Amino acid sequence: MSKPKVFEKPIGVKDYLPHAVAKMRKVERQALDCMSRWGYEQIVTPTMEFYDTVGVASSTSDQKLFKLLNNRGTTLVLRSDMTAPIARVVSSLLKETPFPLRLSYHANVFRAIEEEAGRDAEFYQTGVELVGDPSAEADAEVVALAIASLKAAGVERFKIAIGHVGFLNGLFEEALPGQPEAQESLKAFLLGRDYVGYREQLRSLSLTEPVQRELEGILRLRGGQEICDQAMQLSEDATAKSAIRHLCEIWDVLKAYGVCDHVLIDLTMIGDFSYYTGMTFEGYAADLGFPVVSGGRYDNLLTQFGRPAPATGFAIKTTRILELLDGEEEEQPERVLIGYDAKGRSEALAEAQRLRAQGAIVVTERIEAGDADGLKACREGFADVVTFIGGSKGEQAK
């Protein structure tokens, strides 16, 4: 193994320079503020968790977890999402707090392997969990909040696609009873949005023509509430029908929120987290090929931590959103450069303090006695340059 060069950092992780940090901080603040106004309170959990608890409960596959050993020889993981850690907190520190619990977070999460696909091994998420409410109302609340948070963060053009794991589970069990492998392979194609592969796989399964037509037909099940009516005709399976009814209720609530312009029903959608049990959703922004938000219902995860409860939530991919916000600038306070020599020091530093108290950004620089030009190198970017030299104040051209 050759040694990395001194100035290198690991593949898949990033440095964020001041301009990018300002943007990220703004997105973070605006999204968290929005979540706070909806009654979601922020929590912070450790970067490291036990592999045997949070690591195993997370939906991240084993090979994608960053693992390390602590001094006692116990395996730890770098958290791969915030849902499992929050489930742990809900079941321990918050175990006496009554449901429903509304919690928010902004956190970096870690995925190994992804680096090789050119994806980030560490990235930031801003999200919520609504724990203890099984209703379609709760599902609609988190979808509406995801929309409000994206807007608050400055994302203008986006669509949220909503699906339900129960629909595909029911439909596939009806069409391919007792063939879990065939079912899983079809789901894998849908998860990867590989519709050509899905069709080819269907043909390879030697299904009856009506069944094949039915399973091909779901690829067209994308649109408004009318999709629910069409889907109801497609399957007699009770699980599938119940899923459709739930989605239909969610749509009704989203209509009341007035956000249906941003939503479409997509029954081919499978959330990428194995712990999802009901509604799932993903948000796509114009011109970006990957989701900017994903979420869904996970009614079994809390059971693994000893406090069974239904739950639903989402995570905005904060670092991905930054790409959408290029060119948007926060208004910057005035920047002033103050140069001084030994004699002008007290006056210069007092002036700096005064200006900072007024909200200005002030950089102070010692220059040699009388050398008013000593500041030349760093005048760029300053609205004002002031010198205190030999005891007298002077304004300078930039």
**Residue 102 CB, nearest approach to its own copies (Å):** 7
Residue 284 within binding range of its own copies, rule CB under 8 A: no
Residues 236-265 that bind its own copies (CB under 8 A): 253, 255-258
Instruction: Tokens for 13, please give them.
Output: 């992780």
Residue 225 within binding range of its own copies, rule CB under 8 A: no
Q: How far apart are CA 201 and CA 296, in angstroms?
A: 27
**Residue 297 CB, nearest approach to its own copies (Å):** 16
Q: State how beta strands 101-110 and 122-131 pair.
A: antiparallel
Residue 229 within binding range of its own copies, rule CB under 8 A: no
Residue 88 within binding range of its own copies, rule CB under 8 A: yes
Instruction: Tokens for 300, please give them.
Output: 């079994």
Nearer to its own copies, 172 or 340 (CB): 340
Contact status, residue 281 vs residue 162, Cβ threshold 8 Å = yes
Q: How far apart are CA 317 and CA 284, in angstroms?
A: 11
**Residue 349 CB, nearest approach to its own copies (Å):** 5
Residue 359 within binding range of its own copies, rule CB under 8 A: yes
* The one among 42, 61, 204, 274 contacting its own copies by CB under 8 A: 42
The interface mask with its own copies, positions 146-185, x = CB under 8 A, is ----------------------------------------
Residue 116 within binding range of its own copies, rule CB under 8 A: yes
Tokens 């959990």 label which residue? 45
Residue 89 within binding range of its own copies, rule CB under 8 A: yes
Nearer to its own copies, 72 or 326 (CB): 72
Question: Which among 277, 272, 275, 313 has a CA at the least distance from the CA of 291?
Answer: 272
E strand or H helix at 171: helix 165-175
Residue 373 within binding range of its own copies, rule CB under 8 A: no
Query: Quick one: three-class SS letters along 208-239?
Result: CHHHHHHHHHHHHCEECCHHHHHHHHHCCCHH
Nearer to its own copies, 7 or 397 (CB): 7
E strand or H helix at 173: helix 165-175
* The one among 159, 222, 335, 379 contacting its own copies by CB under 8 A: 335
